[in-house]
């Protein structure tokens, strides 16, 4: 249909004709939309593929809350109730290690963190941890590095069971394993979405101790120096080799740092290295041993600061010497903070 507008036609007439054309076009497209919708809903089945609603002619993205859930992956992948419990404990611990850059943890360390004793077999559950991560990766489309290389044997490598993660692992020689494991560890440490992984699996971060519990345990100060503490201090001062220190050129007890802290025993070695020793006798409470852990952290930080001011090239370290042994919780805290500790110390050469 053609519309001819005469040059002498009024402006109002032109407007009416244009309005009629617009309404006609709108009615035509409305009819097409209704017809197409009826065709889709009544004749074409709706399917889901790759995160979209699919018909023969339309793809509509699914909103996030309609995506398949990932929080049941552990229940789906891990067959037994006990193994599910262990996997739910292992994963947050490995993620904590990855986030804090720990690559020297052993199977014994993992056993202690999970079940409270070193002699325990978690190899099967470690394999299931990998399968859970693999499944989350498949569902999300996000590449997630393995956590399994963070746990090592005494040689510094994952056990032969690592073939679950990398089938050709046992064909590598030691040097090839070292390079391979270092690469995998680096990926795990650099990965920035571990909190997302925990959330997707319905897990919470592994927390060794709450802030409230820490304050309640470390806020109580002990009494004066006991006789057993004095004897241990004197023995270590006289015999630094009893804790593995050689070539000592300077020694002092109750050495005062610039912060005002007093170190039980302080050594300077021939190569210039400084060593602070904190001593806790067997009679020390669990709370007192926890304070000793944090004292070692503080001593090292202050000695590092002194070295920076003095432009010194020496190394600094701290050692916690215990007449008894650490509780499971204190053991985890000391390990997490990198504190060197010696349990069940005896005064003998």
For 58-113, the pLDDT digits (tens) are: 344 443 444 457 889 999 999 999 999 999 999 999 999 999 899 989 998 898 88
- Band (218; pLDDT cuts 50, 70, 90): low
Segment 262-273, tens digit of pLDDT: 999 999 999 999
Q: Fold for domain 211-342? A: Trna Endonuclease; Chain: A, domain 1 (3.40.1350)
Residue 15 has pLDDT above 50, yes or no: yes
Phi, psi dihedrals of residue 78, rounded to the nearest 5°: -90, 125
pLDDT confidence bin for 348, thresholds 50/70/90: confident
Whose CA is closest to 279, among 320, 248, 247? Answer: 320
CB 145 within 8 Å of CB 165: no
CB 264 within 8 A of CB 278: yes
The whole-angstrom separation of Cα 242 and Cα 274 is 17
- Mean pLDDT, all residues of the chain: 83
CB-based contacts of 192-195 (< 8 A; 24+ apart in sequence): 193/142, 193/144, 194/95, 194/98, 194/99
Cβ atoms of 286 and 330 within 8 Å: the answer is yes
Percent of the chain with pLDDT over 90: 61
Among 5-9, 26-30, 68-72, 210-214, the minimum mean pLDDT is found in 5-9
Is pTM beyond 0.95? Reply is no
Q: Is the pLDDT of residue 224 over 60?
A: yes
Rounded (5°) CA angle 214-218-219: 110
Pair of tokens at residue 146: 């393995």
Tell me the pLDDT band of 196, cut-offs 50, 70 and 90.
Answer: very high
Share of residues in the chain with pLDDT > 70 (%): 78
Beta carbons of 280 and 320 less than 8 angstroms apart:
yes
Model pLDDT, residue 200: 95
The token pair at 68 is 């398949």
pLDDT at 318: 97
Q: Which helix (H) or strand (E) holds 278?
A: strand 274-280
State whether residue 90 is helix, strand or coil.
helix
pLDDT attached to residue 82? 94
Confidence check: pLDDT of 40 > 90: no
- pLDDT for position 58: 39
Q: What is the pLDDT of residues 144-169, one digit of tens each?
A: 999 999 999 988 999 999 998 999 99
- End-to-end distance of the chain based on CA atoms, in angstroms? 112
- CA 61, CA 44: separation in Å to the nearest integer? 17
Residue ranges per domain, the chain?
11-64, 73-200, 211-342
């Amino acid at each position: 249909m053609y519309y001819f507008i005469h040059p002498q036609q009024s402006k109002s007439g032109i407007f009416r004709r244009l309005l009629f054309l617009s309404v006609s076009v709108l009615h035509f497209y409305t009819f097409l939309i209704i017809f197409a919708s009826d065709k889709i809903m009544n004749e074409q089945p709706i399917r889901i593929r790759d995160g979209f609603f699919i018909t023969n002619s339309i793809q509509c993205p699914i909103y996030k809350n309609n995506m398949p859930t990932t929080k049941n992956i552990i229940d789906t992948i891990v067959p037994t109730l006990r193994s599910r419990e262990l996997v739910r404990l292992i994963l947050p611990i490995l993620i904590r290690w990855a986030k804090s850059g720990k690559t020297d943890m052993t199977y014994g360390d993992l056993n202690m963190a999970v079940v409270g004793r070193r002699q325990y077999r978690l190899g099967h559950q470690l394999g299931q941890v990998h399968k859970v991560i693999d499944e989350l990766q498949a569902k999300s489309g996000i590449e997630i590095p393995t956590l399994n290389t963070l746990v090592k044997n005494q040689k510094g490598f994952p056990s032969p069971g690592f073939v679950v993660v990398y089938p050709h692992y046992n064909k590598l020689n030691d040097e090839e394993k070292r390079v391979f494991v270092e690469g995998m560890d680096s990926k795990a440490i650099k990965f920035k979405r571990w909190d997302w992984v925990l959330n997707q699996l319905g897990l919470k971060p592994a927390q060794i101790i709450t802030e409230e519990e820490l304050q309640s345990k470390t806020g109580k100060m002990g009494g004066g120096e006991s006789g057993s503490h004095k004897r241990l201090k004197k023995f270590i001062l006289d015999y630094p080799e009893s804790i593995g220190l050689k070539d000592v050129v300077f020694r002092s007890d109750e050495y005062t740092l610039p912060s005002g802290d007093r170190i039980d025993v302080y050594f300077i070695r021939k190569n210039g290295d400084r060593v602070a020793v904190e001593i806790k006798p067997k009679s020390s409470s669990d709370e007192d041993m926890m304070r000793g852990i944090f004292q070692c952290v503080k001593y090292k930080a202050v000695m590092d600061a002194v070295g920076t001011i003095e432009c010194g090239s020496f190394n600094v370290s701290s050692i916690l010497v215990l007449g008894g042994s650490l509780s499971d919780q204190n053991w985890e805290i000391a390990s997490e903070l990198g504190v060197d500790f010696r349990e069940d110390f005896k005064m003998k050469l």
